[in-house]
Amino acid sequence: MANQALFNAIADLVEEDQERYNQGSWGDLVDPVTGEEENIDPQHPRFQLCHTRACIAGHAVALTTSPFDLRRAADAVVKERRSSDGGVYFDEDSDEYKRIDEAYINRPIPYSTMMDKVMNLKFGGEYSYVSWGDAGAKLLEIDEYEGRQLFSGGWEPHEMDVPTALRLIGEGAKVDDVTNHSEEDVRQALNAGFDTVDEYQSSINTPECDSCGHEFSSWDLVELVKKGINSSLFSSYELQSLVDHARTKGLYIN
């Protein structure tokens, strides 16, 4: 079962401020006034969640990062920098190599570097590497396949908004279903106890309508009638029979 509380928290965040949702970025800190990216002070490692801008996996990581996680990650980054003391680094501002010194060791930590270390320490070890996608899937309690779908840069639900899709996944819906089906279809499948919309639709078999004797392919024809596409293929009597029969299966067509 997915982590419903975390899915709901991300849905609330996206719903409240669309500017903070960026499916094409694992995450960054943005100054709310200037719009510039911010870094983290290693001496006082904290950031305001209201400044983070990220995709779903990025928000999952940020929302579950504690002050202790940040302190431990900052210490690890400084430790790594200090181990290189006396060496050189390339300074992008001056476009030249400079000697590693105390000022370099204590310089602000880029958000991505900080969160990489947070994930490594939380899910692996000091010298391991854990990707944002792996961390997001673990935190949201979804499998690797669904994580690849949900965290891809181009992911977008076709028939519902992102907060609704996230809340449905939290309730147990598949990423595939919220991506390709309507909220109504997904909820019907969930309420009926099926794992997927396709399984639910396949379970509704009406080989022959008792009232008119016409053979229907159940769900597909019901959906067509709902959209008014196939009305010319049936008499009004047949259509009414289909509507009546659909109602016996719990499908109500206006």
- In this prediction, residue 138 carries a pLDDT of 95
**Sign of the C-alpha dihedral computed for residues 189, 194, 200 and 205 taken in this order:** negative
- In this prediction, residue 251 carries a pLDDT of 54
Q: Cα(116)–Cα(118) distance, rounded to whole angstroms?
A: 5
Among all chains, which residue has been given the structure tokens 């980054």?
A: 77
Highest mean pLDDT among 40-49, 160-169, 195-204, 206-215 belongs to 160-169
- With a cut of 90, say whether residue 168 has pLDDT above it: yes
- In this prediction, residue 239 carries a pLDDT of 63
Output the pTM of the full model: 0.74
- In this prediction, residue 209 carries a pLDDT of 47
Residue type, 84: S
Report phi then psi at 30, rounded to 5. Answer: -125, 130
Arithmetic mean of pLDDT, 210-230: 52
Confidence tier at 252 by pLDDT (50, 70, 90):
low
Confidence tier at 228 by pLDDT (50, 70, 90):
low
Arithmetic mean of pLDDT, 11-28: 92
- With a cut of 50, say whether residue 121 has pLDDT above it: yes
- With a cut of 70, say whether residue 131 has pLDDT above it: yes
Higher pLDDT, 234 or 23: 23
Give the pLDDT confidence of 28-85 residue by residue, as tens digits.
988 877 878 888 989 888 877 778 889 999 999 999 999 999 999 999 999 888 887 6
- With a cut of 60, say whether residue 183 has pLDDT above it: yes
Report phi then psi at 131, rounded to 5. Answer: -75, 160
Rounded to 10°, the helix 56-63/111-123 angle is 70
Question: Would you list the domain boundaries of the chain?
Answer: 4-155, 204-248
